[in-house]
Amino acid sequence: MLRYISKILYVVTGKKKNLLLMVFVFISVSLLDTIGIGLIGPFMSLATSPEVIAQKQWLNSLYIYWGFQSPYQFISALGICVILIFYVKSYLNFLMQGYIFKFSLNQWGKLVERLLKAYLAADYTFHLQRNTSSILQILLVETGHFSNSILIPLLVSISNATVLLFLLGLLAWTSLPATIAVLGIILLTFLISNLFKDRMSRWNQEGSEAQNLLIQAVNHSMGGIKETKVIGCESYFERQIAQHTKTYANLIGSVLVFGNLPRILIEAFLITFLIGFTSIFLFSGQEPQKLISVLSVFAIASIRMLPAASALLGSTTTVRSYQYIVDKLYLDLKEAEVEKKETLSKVHVYQNDNVAKPLELNQRALDFSRQITLDQVSYTYPGATSPSVQDISLIVEKGQAIALIGKSGAGKTTLVDIILGLLQPQSGSIEVDGVSVYKDLRQWQNLIGYIPQSIFLMDDTVERNIAFGVPDGQIHATRLRQAIEAAQLSQLISELPEGLQTKLGERGVRLSGGQRQRIGIARALYHEREILVLDEATAALDNETEQLVNDSIKALSGTKTLIIIAHRLSTVEHCDRIYQMEKGTIVKEGSYKEVVLNESSIV
């Protein structure tokens, strides 16, 4: 259990001293609760036997000191004091509950930020191995469960445990045998609830898996809505979603039902205790007057203890049943921390074995005036038995356009991912003007604009899609206009109903394939990147549209350094140098005439 608590504290973000402050408030409220309830018994005794004031010296001293004229005035004043204590306690309890909820929900926000930062900073291979739906589920669902089903119940449990501790002390002072009986009831309820702990944990975990599958099914059906409607497979996805929702509902429904078990049990047991205790007290021949005082304390204490004890036991069961979430969040945060340390300590094999600096947000780019050099670069994917690229060496002069060609699986995309800084080679180096890019990978990436085959477009305006990631107030109008003109988008934007402020729809659904590609080119140009990497940028286009995009690309020759991956050999005719790849190595290089026209087997 201590290991579990330590994991929760690791996941909690920010200053841990706030938790100590809450514990202090819990104790203060519980103390007031106990004092108020403890005064109920004496108040009831005085109300039924006013003569006790004269018999008790300390009560008589207070009676005389404050100058009361009758015992009933004194009793009424005592009643007002009890009322005031309860009102102050209730107000503090209200503030405490509000603080618990605000603290827990703020923790949810901080945890989402922390996880998102970890995922964005994670190595590219991390994302190759993870499903987007599982990341979305952790960010949007599991973090909420951590806040609502672990952190809030845990803090409320500490509050309720403090209340119970003080009240049990008061009851022990009032009647030790009765207190032992109450403790037995709480222990019996805990033992019965504990029988379902593992079952509830399994139900929660299986429910989480069903929810993940549900998110995947929704993503698949909506992500491929055109194919779904054309093929007519709506019923297939509807059945999947119905199955997953039914599984989720049954599992989580069972968790909620058994989560209420402690409250139901403790209510029944406490009522049994009160009736049984009263019967035994009367049968034992003791004075009914004494019973009134004891029962008053126990009755009022039960009103407070009943919700506290049931909430404590229920929260304990809930927190333990959600352990898989804590494990999942803990492992992801730890993995991100380990990857960060590895990035700081990783040594790349190049001239001085300098340590790669971590990626940091800055806009400064490496100085690039002569050439890019790849020297004996090799990379093997985790778990693979053979390298995807091996001993690649090439030189790209500034302003030059080069092309990587070859069959699928030749290693072209892997090599480009290495050039982009997404994958870091196990051996070899990449240098710009004799300086390793791994001295500051962020500055190297600030030189590069990337244009993939499928451009990612936000469901937002043309302007925001071109100035991707730039706040509205910082968008540079001149650079935006120049990027639009260079990408040959001026006519398109003039024909749009709201010009630059026209929304493109999800994934740019309102644009043609060629228009989306030119938006991607404009994006790379807006960010003023000196090196443009085009990964099959025209592969999915028809001939006419491909020609328009190629015209945009050719217009950049000489002004930008171009690295192009292509299957269609007609798109690389203008390149200064062609590299043919096969099985992760360069098998031929030269001009278009030397490599392509003499090599008809490339498709």
The full set of domain ranges for the chain reads 2-337, 371-597
Structural tokens at position 499: 């010009």
Residue ranges of the chain whose pLDDT lies below 70: 1, 14-16, 41, 223-227, 229-232, 281, 285-304, 336, 338-363, 537-553, 556-558, 599-603
What is the rounded distance in angstroms from the CA atom of residue 207 to the CA atom of residue 322? 11
Stretch (H or E) spanning 590: strand 585-590
The pLDDT of residue 375 is 92
Predicted TM-score (pTM) of the model is 0.65
Structural tokens at position 303: 């009103």
Return the CATH fold of 2-337. ABC transporter transmembrane region fold (1.20.1560)
**Domain 371-597 class in CATH:** alpha beta
Structural tokens at position 67: 């100058």
What is the rounded distance in angstroms from the CA atom of residue 354 to the CA atom of residue 348? 7
Q: With H, G, I as helix, E, B as strand and everything else as coil, classify residue 542.
A: coil
Please report, as a single letter, which amino acid is at residue 187: L
The pLDDT of residue 603 is 39
Burial class (CB in 10 A: 0-12, 13-18, 19+), 202: middle
What is the rounded distance in angstroms from the CA atom of residue 197 to the CA atom of residue 314? 11
Stretch (H or E) spanning 222: helix 197-223
